[in-house]
């Protein structure tokens, strides 16, 4: 599809350039031949005026055959120039068409991958749900207790589906660009709320969260900042051993709000680091599975949220030492 679109676009580029070039050449050729035709008449008139009618015939005149030859050469040169323009513009057009279409191709490829990944992730809980329901319906001796156990299982699958659906919605959320009113968050409010949410998770693993939050603002809504902090803190807890520490820092640096979450966890291998913000990416599935149900969507959501607010989210990590996620946001 990409190649046929590229050829089509090249064709259009070429058509426009050749129409302009050929029309221009035709007009130029017509003007030049007109001038050439008049050249002999003008020369005759001038000689007649200078030497009088009887004498000028003895003077050598501009040969009509030469004029015709010049006309032919002109036509040939114009054709040659247009041929060169055709080849040059064709090549250049092909390169430009590729450049124009590449971001669109990238977007379409990414969207297709997203749809494929999303359907794949959705299929598992749906299949589980369908199978348990079918098996239970077929079982005539199903007791109330067993039925309740099945319902509980079903509810778990429904919860997974609900979580996935809202994560997918969040990822495809497109902000209205025209809204010029930008929300300003008090960073301390967002960190407080995020810490409240993850506190039970940290307590379950006896993880200490030390926070050092300066009274700064950031250009982002409090809800968005809270959501991002929950994702980062939740990961830090998930991928850390019991009784370790997590540091949350928020301060002003270079007139920007700088917020970081550092853990002493398992870290991220260097090969995985470039992909960590990709949708559905999970570094080393075996260890991710060991930590519970993750879809590899959290960091993709976090990154998109921060970028949507013209900020930046980055990561540094050392396996078995720890990981730091840092974000920079405008202050006002
Ligand atoms: P998940 O739901 O799997 O945690 P995320 O998008 O939040 O999805 O994270 C993607 C992957 O990045 C995780 O599967 C994990 O391998 C890795 N990761 C994220 N945060 C950390 C961290 N603090 N320490 C180590 N690995 C992490």
Please tell me the least confidently modeled range out of 15-19, 38-42, 92-96, 220-224: 38-42
C-alpha 292 to ligand 1 mean position (Å): 11
Residue nearest to atom 21 of ligand 1 (CA): 235
Q: Are 70 and 36 in contact (CB under 8 A)?
A: yes
298 lines ligand 1 (CB under 6 A): yes
C-alpha 225 to ligand 1 mean position (Å): 18
Most confident listed range (52-56, 95-99, 127-131, 288-292): 95-99
Q: How confident is the model at residue 178 (pLDDT cuts 50, 70, 90)?
A: very low
C-alpha 296 to ligand 1 mean position (Å): 7
Residue nearest to atom 11 of ligand 1 (CA): 282
Bridge partners of 219, per DSSP, are 184
198 lines ligand 1 (CB under 6 A): no
- pLDDT(123) > 90: no
235 lines ligand 1 (CB under 6 A): yes
Q: Are 263 and 323 in contact (CB under 8 A)?
A: yes
C-alpha 80 to ligand 1 mean position (Å): 62
The number of residues making up the chain comes to 332
pLDDT tens-digit map of 95-119? 999 999 999 988 888 788 788 878 8
Q: Which of 143-152's residues contact partners 24+ apart within 8 Å by CB, and which partners?
A: none
Residue nearest to atom 25 of ligand 1 (CA): 267
C-alpha 235 to ligand 1 mean position (Å): 6
Number of Cβ within 10 Å of residue 233's Cβ equals 26
**Which pTM was predicted?**
0.65
Q: Give the tokens for residue 76.
A: 């040939």
- pLDDT(153) > 50: yes
**Beta-carbon contacts of residue 328 (< 8 Å; ≥ 6 apart):** 253, 256, 257, 258, 311, 312
pLDDT tens-digit map of 242-260? 999 999 999 999 999 999 9
| Cα–Cα distance measured from residue 281 to residue 234, given in angstroms and rounded to the nearest whole number | 16
C-alpha 311 to ligand 1 mean position (Å): 20
Task: Phi first, then psi: give them for residue 185, nearest 5 degrees.
Answer: -105, 145
- pLDDT score, position 287: 56
Q: Give the tokens for residue 218.
A: 């950031």
pLDDT tens-digit map of 257-276? 999 999 999 999 999 999 99
Angle (deg, nearest 10), helices 222-238 and 298-308: 150
| Cα–Cα distance measured from residue 280 to residue 297, given in angstroms and rounded to the nearest whole number | 5
Residue nearest to atom 17 of ligand 1 (CA): 283
C-alpha 135 to ligand 1 mean position (Å): 35
322 lines ligand 1 (CB under 6 A): no
13 lines ligand 1 (CB under 6 A): no
Task: Phi first, then psi: give them for residue 305, nearest 5 degrees.
Answer: -65, -45
| Cα–Cα distance measured from residue 193 to residue 213, given in angstroms and rounded to the nearest whole number | 13
More confident residue, 49 or 227: 227
Beta strand spans in the chain (E): 184-186, 208-213, 217-219, 245-253, 256-263, 312-318, 322-330
296 lines ligand 1 (CB under 6 A): yes
DSSP 200: H
Query: What is the side-by-side strand order in the sheet with 312-318?
Result: 208-213, 245-253, 256-263, 322-330, 312-318
C-alpha 35 to ligand 1 mean position (Å): 78
Residue nearest to atom 8 of ligand 1 (CA): 296
**Beta-carbon contacts of residue 88 (< 8 Å; ≥ 6 apart):** none
DSSP secondary structure string for all residues of 128-195:
HHHHHHHHHHH-TT--HHHHHHHHHHHHHHHHHHHHHHHHHHHHH----TT-----EEEHHHHHHHHH
């Amino acid at each position: 599809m990409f190649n046929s679109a590229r050829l089509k676009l090249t064709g259009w580029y070429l058509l426009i350039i050749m129409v302009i070039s050929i029309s221009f050449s035709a007009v130029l050729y017509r003007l030049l031949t007109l001038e050439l035709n008049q050249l002999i008449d003008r020369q005759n008139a001038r000689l007649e005026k200078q030497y009088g009618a009887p004498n000028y015939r003895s003077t050598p005149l501009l040969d009509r055959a030469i004029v015709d030859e010049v006309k032919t050469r002109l036509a040939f040169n114009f054709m040659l120039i247009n041929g060169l323009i055709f080849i040059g513009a064709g090549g250049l057009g092909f390169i430009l068409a590729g450049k124009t279409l590449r971001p669109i191709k990238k977007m379409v490829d990414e969207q297709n991958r997203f749809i494929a990944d999303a359907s794949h992730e959705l299929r598992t809980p749906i299949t589980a749900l369908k199978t348990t329901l079918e098996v239970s319906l077929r079982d005539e001796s199903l007791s109330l207790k067993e039925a309740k156990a099945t319902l509980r299982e079903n509810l778990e699958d429904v919860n997974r589906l609900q979580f996935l659906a809202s994560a997918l919605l969040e990822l495809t959320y497109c902000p209205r660009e025209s809204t010029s009113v930008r929300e300003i968050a008090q960073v301390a409010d967002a960190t407080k709320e995020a810490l409240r949410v993850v506190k039970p998770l940290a307590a379950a693993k006896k993880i200490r969260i030390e926070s050092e939050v300066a009274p700064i603002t950031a250009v982002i809504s409090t809800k968005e900042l809270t959501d991002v902090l929950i994702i980062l803190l939740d990961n830090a807890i998930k991928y850390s051993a019991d009784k370790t520490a997590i540091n949350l820092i928020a301060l002003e640096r270079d007139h920007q709000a700088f917020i970081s979450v550092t853990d002493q966890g398992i870290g991220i291998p260097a090969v995985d680091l470039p992909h960590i913000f990709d949708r559905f990416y999970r570094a080393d599935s075996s260890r991710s599975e060991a930590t519970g149900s993750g879809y590899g969507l959290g960091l993709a959501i976090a990154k998109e949220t921060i970028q949507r607010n013209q900020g930046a989210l980055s990561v540094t990590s050392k396996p078995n030492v720890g990981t730091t996620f840092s974000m920079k946001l405008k202050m006002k």
